[in-house]
Amino acid sequence: MLPETAPFPAEQIATLNRIISGTSAEQRTWLSGFLAGFQAANAPQPTGAAPPARRAPLTILFATESGNAEALADTARKAAGKLGFAARVLDMADTTPAQVAGVQNVLVIASTWGEGDPPQRAIDFHAALMADDAPRLDGVRYAVLALGDRAYAKFCETGRLFDERFAALGATRVAERIECDLDYEAPAGAWIDATLGTLQAELGEPEAGAVIHVDFARSPAEVAAWSRSRPFEAEVTEHIRLSGSRSTSDTWHVELSLEGAGIAYEPGDSLGFVPMNDSALVDAVLDATGLADNEPLRARLLEQFDITTLTGSEPRPDGWQVIDVLEAARQPLTEAQLLARLRPLAPRYYSIASSRKAIGDQAHLLVAAVRHEAHGRARSGVASVDVAERRKVGDRLKVFLKPNTHFRLPNDPERPVIMIGPGTGVAPFRAFMQERDAVGARGRNWLVFGHRNYTHDFLYQLDWQDLLKRGVLTRLDVAFSRDQPEKRYVQHTLWDARRELHAWVQDGAAIYVCGDANAMAKDVHTTLQQILGEAALDALRREGRYLRDVY
Ligand SMILES: Cc1cc2nc3c(=O)[nH]c(=O)nc-3n(C[C@H](O)[C@H](O)[C@H](O)COP(=O)(O)OP(=O)(O)OC[C@H]3O[C@@H](n4cnc5c(N)ncnc54)[C@H](O)[C@@H]3O)c2cc1C
Ligand SMILES: Cc1cc2nc3c(=O)[nH]c(=O)nc-3n(C[C@H](O)[C@H](O)[C@H](O)COP(=O)(O)O)c2cc1C
């Protein structure tokens, strides 16, 4: 709270205190960063400011799976550079805790995956840090920025554990940890600026001119880049249901024109898609809260808010969504009360199933409509059903590039690859094969695909057959789970082919896994451990020859 001595009239102090008392920790962090930046941006520019005498070292250590923490690390590095820090960025995948011991200033930026797990590329660092023989971190000054998703029970678990462990090992926390939900950009940016300001003040090195510099002005390259807040509107040029009419799943091939967008994607990248909510669900939410005649609110709920995920402290029987809580309460709400319960609508990501070298300024996506029933109500995945049911050729999808530099074809075109991609997990491998075909890469390619029924669910069957015929695809194994009495999955296929798999790995093959994280990736991992041995699989992961993109 502002003290009475704050440089404001008493009336304004009361108003500000009223506002501040109603804010969350996250909002206060954002506000402090915003005000600091505002001040810096409006301060008179120093003329001939002396260069800093000594540049304080700063290490930005990130743990990422899908690149968000990595991108934030880069943002932090740029902000720190402007403040005069000598900043470097380290990926936990390439770092040991021993390398952190003795480092003065560390910003840790870490996401959480699985069910409260560290990103897979950070598991060695995480394990070493948690081990009994972890090095002491006395003298290390640090702060943690955690990324997560409030829909998960263990929200921001990895960041929380890193924060606690750094402190337990003797490091000094210089700023409270921030835990960011999917709409992390603004709070994370403000936290970075505020934390750098704190670090700098503590180091007693205020530079001439602005103490904190928030970079509101973006470079031309960044302005040209499409993002979740500024997506490209890509025209749908094909919209084809790949699942057969009698299939129990509903999977769509979508072609988008990227003409004029300058989106230079690589095989392995995804597109972010900014969806729209189901208008029937929006109406149900408005009805349940007595806000049915509020048209402007209806428009905002359609496009801006997550109207399914429960993220607050309301009671949450398994499978409940926002509408269940609202209908159970049947309580009129004001617009502000309703919006306070909803988080911003997050984009969804879809692996790009094509190579620009093969198809030019387009991108292909493979989207499986997510539908299930819970508590007597049919539920539809926001984005996937938006694409499958409500979009058609000629419509526009709001998209932006989500690069994945950790899921790339080998640099060596001769290196064999083994691609394990059941269901929509096959999408990036279509991009891989188009790319290898287009550049004439001679390495052998083995695809392991799986789904429910051969007749109805063999996604991109003609593509694979053509690639096989032309010798681009060396080997194709399939597992259709429902075509025989006992369930058969890709891991069973791998086990049956274990001798050949061994031989391919001996020949230098890289193994890729894409698709379902909950069951498939774990079962495949266990089977690969059984075939190759745990240590050998770990060694492949460290060499960048066992890569996963699972969701
Ligand atoms: C890097 C990456 C790449 C991806 N690539 C692809 C791709 O190529 N193709 C593709 O189709 N998807 C892909 N996905 C997944 C995609 O981003 C979406 O998560 C998916 O389409 C579901 O989004 P939605 O908005 O339709 O569903 P949402 O509205 O987000 O609903 C999904 C949620 O519903 C709940 N749910 C779903 N089924 C059930 C059930 N049976 N019982 C109880 N609860 C259930 C779960 O909580 C689930 O998280 C990818 C994800 C990532 C992170
Ligand atoms: C399959 C999957 C599992 C996830 N599990 C968790 C979780 O257990 N807890 C959490 O807070 N966030 C979880 N998340 C959300 C991520 O942490 C969040 O998307 C984050 O921004 C990713 O950052 P990164 O790109 O740096 O890895 C999960 C996301 C996915 C796709």
User: Residues 312-361: pLDDT tens digits?
Assistant: 777 678 899 999 999 999 999 999 999 999 999 999 999 999 999 999 99
| Residue 276 CB less than 6 A away from ligand 1 | no
Torsion of Cα atoms, 511 then 517 then 521 then 523, to 10°? 180
Residue with the larger pLDDT of the pair 512 and 34 = 512
CA distance linking residue 244 with residue 28, whole number of Å? 52
Residue with the larger pLDDT of the pair 131 and 213 = 131
pLDDT tens digits along 474-492:
999 999 999 999 999 999 9
Chain-centroid distance, C-alpha 55: 33
**pLDDT above 80 for 52:** no
237 closest CA partner among 459, 401, 392: 392
Q: Which residues contact 479 (CB under 8 A, 6 or more apart)?
A: 422, 448, 449, 450, 488, 489, 490, 492, 493
Fold of 23-217: Rossmann fold (3.40.50)
Give the Å distance between the CA of 38 and the centre of ligand 1. Answer: 39
Instruction: Point out the ligand nearest to the CA of residue 68.
Output: 2
Domains 232-275+347-402 and 417-550 agree in fold: no
Instruction: Point out the ligand nearest to the CA of residue 113.
Output: 2
pLDDT tens digits along 94-114:
999 999 999 999 999 999 999
pLDDT of residue 540: 98
**pLDDT above 80 for 250:** yes
Atom of ligand 1 nearest to the CA of 308: 29
The 10 Å CB-count burial string (b at 16+, else e) for 251-278 is bbbbbbbbeebebebbbbbbbbbbbbbb
Task: From the options 2.60.120.380, 3.40.50.80, 3.30.460.10, 3.20.20.60, give the CATH code of 417-550.
Answer: 3.40.50.80
419 closest CA partner among 461, 448, 443: 448
293 closest CA partner among 230, 244, 335: 335
| Residue 429 CB less than 6 A away from ligand 1 | no
Give the Å distance between the CA of 86 and the centre of ligand 1. Answer: 41
* Closest CA to ligand 1's atom 39: 372
Predicted confidence band at 521 (pLDDT cuts at 50, 70, 90)? very high
Residue located via tokens 């198809």: 359
pLDDT of residue 10: 79
Give the Å distance between the CA of 245 and the centre of ligand 2. Answer: 34
Angle of CA points 466, 387, 342, to nearest 5°? 140
Give the Å distance between the CA of 23 and the centre of ligand 2. Answer: 25
pLDDT tens digits along 193-239:
999 999 998 887 544 333 444 444 444 444 458 999 999 999 999 99
Instruction: Point out the ligand nearest to the CA of residue 402.
Output: 1
Give the Å distance between the CA of 184 and the centre of ligand 2. Answer: 12
Give the Å distance between the CA of 388 and the centre of ligand 1. Answer: 13
Predicted confidence band at 289 (pLDDT cuts at 50, 70, 90)? very high
pLDDT of residue 214: 43
Give the Å distance between the CA of 96 and the centre of ligand 1. Answer: 34
Pair of tokens at residue 440: 């004439």
The predicted model gives 267-286 an average pLDDT of 98
Q: Residues enclosing ligand 2, CB less than 6 A?
A: 64-69, 111-116, 119, 147-149, 152, 154-157, 517, 551
Instruction: Point out the ligand nearest to the CA of residue 275.
Output: 1
The predicted model gives 81-90 an average pLDDT of 96
The predicted model gives 237-250 an average pLDDT of 97
* Predicted TM-score of the model (pTM): 0.88
From 251, 349, 365, mutation site for ligand 1 pocket: most ligand atoms within 8 A of C-beta: 349
CA distance linking residue 34 with residue 40, whole number of Å? 10
Chain-centroid distance, C-alpha 149: 10
CA distance linking residue 15 with residue 10, whole number of Å? 9
* Closest CA to ligand 2's atom 31: 551
Predicted confidence band at 389 (pLDDT cuts at 50, 70, 90)? very high
Which strand (E) or helix (H) includes residue 359?
A: helix 356-359
CA distance linking residue 325 with residue 85, whole number of Å? 48
CA distance linking residue 487 with residue 344, whole number of Å? 40
Residue with the larger pLDDT of the pair 248 and 221 = 248
Chain-centroid distance, C-alpha 486: 35
Residue 520 contacts residue 489 (beta carbons within 8 Å): yes
Give the Å distance between the CA of 413 and the centre of ligand 2. Answer: 32
pLDDT tens digits along 4-45:
767 787 778 888 887 887 787 777 777 776 776 666 556 655
Residue by residue, what is the 3-state secondary structure of 29-98? HHHHHHHHHHHHHHCCCCCCCCCCCCCCEEEEEEECCCCHHHHHHHHHHHHHHHCCCEEEEEEHHHCCHH
Residue with the larger pLDDT of the pair 117 and 37 = 117
pLDDT tens digits along 157-176:
999 999 999 999 999 999 99
* Three-state DSSP class for residue 513: strand
Instruction: Point out the ligand nearest to the CA of residue 73.
Output: 2
Beta bridge partners of residue 87, listed in sequence order: 58
Q: Which CATH superfamily is domain 232-275+347-402 in?
A: Translation factors (2.40.30.10)
Give the Å distance between the CA of 141 and the centre of ligand 2. Answer: 26
**pLDDT above 60 for 71:** yes
pLDDT of residue 223: 45
Q: What is the overall mean pLDDT for the chain? A: 92
Positive or negative, the CA dihedral 101, 103, 105, 108 is negative
Residue with the larger pLDDT of the pair 178 and 316 = 178
Residue 209 contacts residue 84 (beta carbons within 8 Å): no
pLDDT of residue 160: 98
Predicted confidence band at 53 (pLDDT cuts at 50, 70, 90)? low
Atom of ligand 1 nearest to the CA of 369: 26
The predicted model gives 124-145 an average pLDDT of 98
The ranges assigned to domains in the chain are 23-217, 232-275+347-402, 279-340, 417-550
